[in-house]
Amino acid sequence: MSNVDQPFIPEPALDRDCMTLSRHVLQQLHSFGAEAQDLSAIMNRIALAAKLIARRLTRAGLVAGALGFTGEMNVQGESVKKMDVYANDVFISVFKQSGLVCRLASEEMQKPYYIPENCPIGRYTLLYDPIDGSSNVDININVGSIFAIRQQEGLDEDGTASDLLQNNGRNQIAAGYVLYGPSTMLVYSLGTGVHAFTLDPSLGEFILSSENIRLPDHGSIYSVNEGNFWQWEEPLRDYIRYVHRHEGYTARYGGALVGDIHRILFQGGVFLYPGTVKKPEGKLRLLYESAPLAYLIEQAGGRASTGTQEILDVVPEALHARSPLIIGSKDDVALVESFIQDRARAVEERAARERSRIPQ
């Protein structure tokens, strides 16, 4: 009796263990065509970068020169960690000889990096933050990597990446992050839902662990560095006073955006990195921190805002442009925004009253 007569029903564990990232991408795209194969291959290279960085992080305390500062400052004006440089080089190395990604832009590089052998055949740009939460690296607390894939428009011969400054975050064709925590997880979206994979070290493969993740409309968690309280505009202070005075709120802040967003993705709530009086644009970088995470969270039913505009509608003014970020469950983001709108309305009403007092 041949096997065509008996449908092949693999045991559940086997079927699960075969749902690798590259297979899931093809399944999501319902295609084995060239574009789908390219995106599947790109995601597979990002997975390799994540494995290499995870290996380095898990043994960092035993590897000479893995921890500490390089003594350099990066384009953000921040002291560079050795792990930042290692991780940045890993992302470049995994795309060499791929014919996939022509240009890489990262938090650690002033200008984009071009892989000549991939250009112009490689039609994609990778934007990434190689190590998110660098301040956690040397004390063994979780960190992450953040990535977004965009179509490269034009040849960008002058190397200014001007095409990236003409479009908003809705131009991303895929985005995600890697969380280097007790287990290493990769969470991504191609615009068809948000899916999480867990690295199985015994297989060396990222295996699907949660599919079509949806975050609740409201969560009890608020995540913000309250140490900046006196640097914020009044509406944000009003919001924090509100959650301090109301039952049902709990503070969680890990010092690494990826870790805080991962918690909110699974439990709901809101993360805030507002602008300050001195730096109204805030700290976080739009193209490789805020926009990729906004893409994910919107796909999971949440929202991401600057306070007055959807993050995905913001067109960057520069490669390393920053933006205030309020992200998470949609009711909680709306609550924060309401304090900003109330304050703006009060200011406007006061101005109108002033104007009405001036004899015409």
| From candidates 132, 156, 298, 337, binder to ligand FBP by CB under 6 A | 132
Give buried/exposed letters for 298-313 (b at 16+ CB in 10 A, else e). Answer: bbbebbbbbbeebbbe
The C-alpha angle with vertex 296 and arms to 28 and 148, in degrees rounded to 5, equals 85
Distance of alpha carbon 129 from alpha carbon 256, whole angstroms: 12
| From candidates 175, 257, 293, 296, binder to ligand FBP by CB under 6 A | 257
Q: Of residues 263-292, which lie at the interface with ligand FBP (CB under 6 A)?
A: 283
> Residue 123 is encoded by which pair of tokens?
């039609």
133 lies in the site for ligand FBP, by CB under 6 A: yes
Peptide bond into 120 cis (omega under 30): yes
Considering CB under 6 A, how many residues would be counted as binding ligand FBP? 12
> Residue 184 is encoded by which pair of tokens?
């290493």
Nearest CB to ligand FBP, comparing residues 257 and 319: 257
| From candidates 129, 205, 332, 337, binder to ligand FBP by CB under 6 A | 129
Residue 167: burial class (beta carbons within 10 Å; 0-12, 13-18, 19+): middle
Under DSSP, is residue 51 helix (H, G, I), strand (E, B) or coil?
Answer: helix
72 lies in the site for ligand FBP, by CB under 6 A: no
| From candidates 99, 181, 193, 255, binder to ligand FBP by CB under 6 A | 255
Backbone angles phi, psi at 231, to 5 degrees: -95, -10
Nearest CB to ligand FBP, comparing residues 27 and 228: 228
- Region near ligand FBP per CB under 6 A, out of 11-19, 31-39, 207-215, 253-261: 253-261
Nearest CB to ligand FBP, comparing residues 226 and 342: 226
User: Cβ(124)–Cβ(147) under 8 Å?
Assistant: no
108 lies in the site for ligand FBP, by CB under 6 A: no
> Residue 147 is encoded by which pair of tokens?
């990535």
Nearest CB to ligand FBP, comparing residues 257 and 333: 257
Residues that bind ligand FBP (CB under 6 A): 78, 107, 129, 132-135, 225, 255-257, 283
